[in-house]
Each structure stands twice: as structure tokens, then as C-alpha cells.
A and B are shown apart, each in its own frame.
Chain A
Amino acid sequence: MSGKANKVVVLPCSGIGKVYGAIARETTYELMERVRPGVVVTICLPLLVIEDPDAKQLVTDNPVITIDGCPKSCAQKSVEAQGVKPARTYQAIGFYKAHKELKPGGIAELDENGRNLAALAADELAQIVDELAAGGQE
């Protein structure tokens, strides 16, 4: 895989119980729709739980970034359960620790701080995405 990747799979936590799950999801959408459209793709994390063959192929063939919402690290572990090591793993709370002026709120729908934090996190992940898309540092 090294040296030929051009898609990067970003897999966020699937949680609906904590704000950092929502931050993980929103950061993924920001990367996919605004920051690196056409490069960043995602899939429903539960597809890995049911061992969907297309989902498994996608994470096997491309570098994967996981963004988890809590220490249980479902996204990371779900990828690892397929025998794939994620290229990068993040905890969404780390984004907040780096930007404490943006304390996020909301779960189903993030508040303004949450949306701004996710946008900032996506901007900061862009360089990593570019490196992985170029086939480096896996």
C-alpha cells in the first residue's frame, strides 16, 4: 500500500452519548466535505462490525485515520479487529485540550463552539491527510 495511496479513510466514533463522539463525526465531515473533498472518505463504522466485505476492503487498501470519542476507542478497535493497523489514531478530547477556548456542547447537534472546534481540528489534520494520501508515513 505504501507509496500509492490517494484516498484516506477517516473513521469517527459512532457514539450518540457523548459530545466528543459528535466532535469526531463533525471533524470527519469537515475533512470530507470542506478540507479535503475527493481525498477523505468515510464509511459507517458499524459496517465493520457486521464484517461487510466492501468496508473491509476499503480499510485494507487505504490508510486509515480513526477519531474516537472516548477511551473505549471503538473506531480504532473496530479497524484493528479487521487485522488493519490505523495509520493515525486520535481522541477527540485532544482537540479540545489543544483549544480550551472552544468548550463544545450538544450531542445530536453541536453548538457553535463544537462546530468551530471540529473545523479547526480538520484544518490541523489536513497535513497528515496529505502525507498519507501521498503514500507516506504509514
Chain B
Amino acid sequence: MALEVLKVGVVSCSGEAIPGGTVSRIACRKVLDERPGETVTICLPLFIAGGKEERDFAGKYPTITVDGCEKRCAQRSTERLSGKPSKSLLVPEILKKHGIDPPTSLRNLRPEEKAATQVVAEEIARAVDEILEG
């Protein structure tokens, strides 16, 4: 009997120093707010600063990592400290696929840059659906 997946973990890179991190952070927050019963998150540094419960995150929930740059901190940290993510998304790849220029603002995204957060949020939501539908 297959186990029913009730919630999907979403882990944002959150990168404070790069615009892709801001896009990741805002897009993840949007999905978490719009799908409160189906998604859950964890602050990435808790894999180091937290305890066993935090490090069990990817074992407890099928997890989507969302990274803002090629260093892939969210994916690599989750793999190394918690468990293998079910899906790993990369903001620059998503934006390229949709023909959207990468934002250049670290904060206070301009209106035209907010389109980037919307397409990334939609991609995360699609990944959530795929996992929930099995």
C-alpha cells in the first residue's frame, strides 16, 4: 500500500546576497501562503543550528529545494545534512525557460521583476502538485 503524502517540504536557498535568492525566498513564501495545508518549510541553516528533528526534515517530508544560483546551497545542504530532495529547482533555469530577465535588485523588486517571482512560484506549485499526486 502506498503511503499518502500529506505535506511537501519547501526549502529556499534564501540567499541574502544575490537577487536570485530574493526571488527564491519570495516565491517560496508565496507558495507556503497559498498552500498552507500542503506545504511546510524549514530555515536552511537549521540543518546546522538545529537538532535531530530539523535534520530529519527531508526524511519526514518529500522536499523541493529552490536555489538562487549555481552554488545550489539548498540542494547540497539538504542532501548532505537531511536527505535527498524529491525535486531540485534552480531560479536561473526557470527564468531562462520562461524568457524572463533575471532581477538585479536585492530587495524592493521592481514591478517588472516581480514577474520572476510569480513564474518561480508557479513552478514550485507545479512541483508540489506532482509530488502530492504521486
| A interface residues with partner B (beta carbon < 8 Å) | 12-17, 21, 25-26, 28-29, 33, 42-50, 52, 72-75, 77-78, 81, 107-109
**A77 and B13 alpha carbons, distance in the complex (Å):** 17
Known A-B contacts A42-B16, A46-B74; the reply to A77 vs B45 at CB < 8 A is: yes
11 A-B pairs within 8 Å (CB atoms) are namely A15-B14, A16-B29, A16-B41, A17-B32, A49-B44, A49-B48, A52-B73, A74-B43, A74-B46, A77-B49, A109-B26
Q: For residue A47, which residues in chain B have a CB less than 8 angstroms away from its CB?
A: 71, 73
The residue in chain B whose Cβ has the minimal distance to the Cβ of A78 is: B45
In the bound complex, residues from chain B placing their C-beta under 8 Å from that of A25 are 16, 107
Interface residues of B in 49-86 (CB under 8 A from A): 49-50, 68, 71, 73-74, 76-77, 80-81
Closest CB in chain B relative to A27 CB, distance in Å: 11
- Judge whether B43 and A14 touch: CB under 8 Å: yes
- A50-B77, A107-B29 known; A74 vs B48 contact (CB < 8 Å): yes
List chain B positions with a Cβ less than 8 A from chain A: 12-18, 21, 25-26, 28-30, 32-33, 41, 43-50, 68, 71, 73-74, 76-77, 80-81, 106-107
Are A44 and B29 interface neighbours, CB within 8 A? no
Q: Are B76 and A50 in contact (CB under 8 A)?
A: yes
Contact of B73 with A46 in the complex, beta carbons under 8 Å: yes
Collect the chain A residues with CB atoms within 8 Å of residue B49's CB: 72-74, 77-78, 81
Indicate if the CB atoms of A49 and B30 lie closer than 8 Å: no
Chain B contacts of A14 at CB under 8 A? 14, 16, 43-45
| Most A CB within 10 A of own CB, among B25, B43, B74 | B43
Separation of A16 and B40 alpha carbons in the complex (Å): 11
B66 CB, min distance to chain A CBs, angstroms? 10
